[in-house]
Amino acid sequence: MGVVSWNEAFADRYEEWSAEMTADIAFYVALARQANGPLVELAVGNGRVAIPVAQATGQQVIGIDSSPAMLQLARARTAAAGVQLDLRQGDMRDLALDELAGLIYCPFRALLHLPTWADRRRTFERVAASVQPGGRFAWNAFAFDHRIAARLDGGARSSLWWATKNEWLGLLDVAGLELEALYGGFAREPFNDESREYVFIARRGTSTDQDRRAINVP
C-alpha cells in the first residue's frame, strides 16, 4: 500500500467519501451549545459539521483548514445553507486566535494526518493556549486495534497516525489539558476493548482546579 496523503484533487470526492459519517454531527452540536465563547473547528473541510453547528447555535463558527479546495467547497455550502462561517486557510499546528475559544473541536479523525510527534505536540499546545480556562477540546479518531496493526505490518505505509489511547493521553499531559471523557462512540457509550472509535473531550483547567491540585499535593 502506498503512502496515503491529502491530494487537492480529492476534494471533488470528499462529499461522497464522507457521506456515511453523520453520527458525529449531533455530538459536536451538543458540545457547541454548551460552550460559552467562540467556536472553532480544525480541519473544517467542506463545512459538513460546522454548518449544522452554526445553525444550531446561531454563532459564527471559525473554520480552519489548510486546503484551499476544501475551503472553496465550504464557502459554496455555507452560501447554499444561508449561514456564515469565518473560514480561514491555515495550519492547525500554528493555531492562533484573537479571542480564546469556548470550544475547539476536530472531527472526522483529522488529527490522524499530523505526521510527527512534534506536529502533534505543537497542535495540542496551540489548542491549550487558544481555549478559555474551563473550555473544551473535542476530537475523534480510529481506536488502535493491535489485531489490525499486526495484519498491516508487512512493509505497508500510511500517513495516518495509528495512535494508542496512552499516546492521546500523553499529548493531553504535555499540553496541560485534562481528560474530561473518553467514549467509544458518538452516543457517549463507554469505551471498551470492542470500541472502534476514540471520542475524546478534554478541557483546560481553571484557576480553581489548579488551586485544588496544589492543596492536595502531599
Residue-number span of the structural domain to which 39 is assigned: 8-216
Residue 161: pLDDT band (50, 70, 90) is: confident
CA distance 136 to 152: 34
Whether residue 52 lies inside any domain: the answer is yes
- 17 or 53: which carries more pLDDT confidence? 53
- Residue 155: the pLDDT is 44
Whether residue 2 lies inside any domain: the answer is no
Sign of CA dihedral 67, 21, 114, 37: positive
Mean pLDDT (the chain, rounded) = 86
Whether residue 176 lies inside any domain: the answer is yes
Residue (of 79, 83, 38) closest to 62 by Cα position = 38
Residue (of 68, 77, 70, 63) closest to 28 by Cα position = 63
- 4 or 155: which carries more pLDDT confidence? 155
Whether residue 3 lies inside any domain: the answer is no
pLDDT digits (tens, 9 = 90+) for 63-75: 999 999 999 999 9
Do residues 16 and 75 touch, judged by C-beta distance below 8 A? Answer: no
Q: How many domains does the chain have?
A: 1
Q: CA dihedral defined by 168, 171, 176, 179, rounded to 10 degrees?
A: 0
pTM for the model stands at 0.85
Whether residue 118 lies inside any domain: the answer is yes
- Residue 140: the pLDDT is 96
Which residues partner with 199 through β-bridges? 140, 183
Whether residue 164 lies inside any domain: the answer is yes
Task: Name the strands in the sheet holding 39-42, side by side, starting at the edge strand that comes first in the sequence.
Answer: 85-89, 61-65, 39-42, 101-106, 131-142, 197-204, 177-183
- Residue 162: the pLDDT is 78
Whether residue 1 lies inside any domain: the answer is no
pLDDT digits (tens, 9 = 90+) for 76-113: 999 999 999 999 999 999 999 999 999 999 999 999 98
List of E strands, the chain:
39-42, 61-65, 85-89, 101-106, 131-142, 177-183, 197-204
- Residue 211: the pLDDT is 43
Residue 172 has pLDDT above 50, yes or no: yes
- Residue 22: the pLDDT is 82
CATH code at position 118: 3.40.50.150
Q: CA dihedral defined by 91, 97, 100, 102, rounded to 10 degrees?
A: -50
pLDDT digits (tens, 9 = 90+) for 128-159: 999 999 999 999 999 976 555 444 444 444 45
- Residue 217: the pLDDT is 38
Whether residue 162 lies inside any domain: the answer is yes
pLDDT digits (tens, 9 = 90+) for 201-211: 999 999 655 44
Query: Cell 488529527 belongs to which residue?
Result: 111
Percent pLDDT > 70 in the chain is: 78
For 213, list phi and psi in degrees, rounded to 5. Answer: -65, -40
* Mean pLDDT in residue range 45-55: 97
Percent pLDDT > 90 in the chain is: 74
